[in-house]
């Protein structure tokens, strides 16, 4: 399997991210991201705006908040991959997804708009991934105080989405 598609080694990422990377089956990563994007769109296609406000428990994010979170995280991880893959040695700051979620005000947005944004972000991520050669994928940098490779960031994107889709199915009762 080409390095581009091979699962990143544990020394390519902070151990916290193992829970996401381990969710992703060995496969062509570009195809995986495209297929996953389509599967997530299918899961969300019939969720109405009122259903998008559902929270499985008090104090938990709504379906719309979860979707906004996935969008924001994919953007951050892809940006990190861009910087690292292009050889930028600048240490990249961490981010607090719990602070981002309320600021995104996803509950005020239409589900259709969130789905469209998710599709656009995924298309941009796939285009970025396709622009990387093996050398770019294996470049390493520092993000949030931890060493990481560009390759690991793309695997994290895939695994992070899988994690949240599983929660949408299990805790929010979505099916589709």
pLDDT in tens, the chain (176 residues): 344 568 999 999 999 999 999 999 998 999 999 999 999 999 999 999 999 999 999 999 999 999 999 999 999 999 999 999 999 999 999 999 999 999 999 999 999 999 999 999 999 999 999 999 999 999 999 999 999 999 999 999 999 999 999 999 999 999 97
CATH number of the domain residue 151 falls in:
1.20.120.450
Within a domain: residue 160? yes
Q: How far apart are CA 155 and CA 148, in angstroms?
A: 11
Ramachandran bin of 145, using left for φ above 0, alpha for ψ from -120 to 50, beta for the remaining angles: left
Within a domain: residue 41? yes
Tokens 């105080």 appear where? 145
Within a domain: residue 76? yes
Entry pTM:
0.96
Q: How far apart are CA 20 and CA 155, in angstroms?
A: 8
Number of domains in the chain: 1
Range of the domain at 92: 24-170
Within a domain: residue 100? yes
Within a domain: residue 47? yes
């Amino acid at each position: 399997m080409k390095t581009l598609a091979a699962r990143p080694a544990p020394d390519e990422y902070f151990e916290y991210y193992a829970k996401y990377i381990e969710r992703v089956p060995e496969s062509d990563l570009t195809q995986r991201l495209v297929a996953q994007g389509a599967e997530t769109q299918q899961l969300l296609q019939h969720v109405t705006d009122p259903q998008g406000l559902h929270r499985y428990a008090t104090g938990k994010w709504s379906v719309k908040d979860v979707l906004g979170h996935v969008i924001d995280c994919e953007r951050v991880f892809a940006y990190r991959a861009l910087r690292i893959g292009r050889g930028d040695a600048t240490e990249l700051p961490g981010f607090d997804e719990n602070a981002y979620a309320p600021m995104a005000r996803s509950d005020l947005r239409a589900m259709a708009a969130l789905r469209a944004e998710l599709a656009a972000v995924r298309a941009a991520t796939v285009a970025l991934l396709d622009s990387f050669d093996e050398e770019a994928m294996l470049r390493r940098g520092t993000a949030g105080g931890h060493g990481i490779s560009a390759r690991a960031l793309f695997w994290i994107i895939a695994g992070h989405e899988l994690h949240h889709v599983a929660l949408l199915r299990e805790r929010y009762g979505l099916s589709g």
